[in-house]
Chain A
Amino acid sequence: QVQLQESGPGQVQPSGTLSLTCGVSGGSLTSSNWWSWVRQPPGKGLEWIGEAYHRGNANYNPSLKSRVTISVDKSKNQFSLRLNSVTAADTAIYYCAKRGGGGWDQWGRGTLVTVSS
């Protein structure tokens, strides 16, 4: 069974760049899945950020598209999120997740990222 684990700084300065990595174990990034990022502001609902496929395709939420990049590193079996020009509104728990033919069937445990100086 695939397991996912987020890693990265827990705090980012306003106007800085949020960078997170999701390590994938127990499976390959080259399988027929989309590798996704979803976030959840404290006490609020879920928001899809975007996703990438191992062949280089990516889809992004239009609300974030100008600031976000999701990439896949097959050699390290991990995928990454970069979100530029962050503000306090980007403070959230960030989850990485695997999406197959249906919904997201595997999730990381999530990592809280706080935007603050």
Chain B
Amino acid sequence: EIVLTQSPATLSLSPGERVTLSCRASQSVSDNYLSWYQQKPGQAPRLLMSGASTRATGIPARFSGSGSGTDFTLAISSLQPEDFAVYYCQQNYNLPLTFGGGTKVEIK
């Protein structure tokens, strides 16, 4: 099973700041099979990024993804009020499909 470790667990930031979220895999993940999700309280997760760097439909350009192998990053160039949420990485490379533990981005 591929274990995904996200860091940090919590980030306290102000609107307008740039944020970088990390996702590290216990073994190599083809970059076609790493996705990122955003989840707000009381809502289902929303797909942000697939293939490590391809934004899903309707996702603003301030979100970007990068990485390969075992290290992946989600960046938000300038935090907007609606971006405060929990972010999960997830791999579709190997069964079982697995998620990282999440990073909560909270308002400072």
Contacts and interface: CB of A to CB of B under 8 A. Distances in A.
- Asked if chains A and B come from one complex, the reply is yes
A103 B101 contact: no
Contacts of B43: 109
Interface stretch (B11-19, B20-28, B45-53, B72-80): B45-53
Nearest to A107: B44
A25 interface: no
Interface residue tally of chain B, by bracket? 20 to 34
Interface string A77-117: 00000000000000000010101011111011110000000
A105 B47 contact: yes
Contact of A103 (B37, B44, B95): B37
A61 interface: yes
A103 B88 contact: no
Nearest to A105: B47
Interface residue tally of chain A, by bracket? 20 to 34
B99 A107 contact: no
Nearest to A100: B50
Nearest to A108: B44
A35 to B, nearest CB: 13
A61 B96 contact: yes
Nearest to B56: A105
Interface string A4-48: 000000000000000000000000000000000010000001111
Contacts of A60: 96
B68 interface: no
B96 A62 contact: yes
Contacts of A107: 44-46
Contacts of B1: 62
A102 B35 contact: yes
Interface of B: 1, 32, 35, 37, 39, 43-47, 50-51, 54, 56-57, 88, 90, 92, 95-102
Interface of A: 38, 45-48, 51, 59-63, 95, 97, 99, 101-105, 107-110
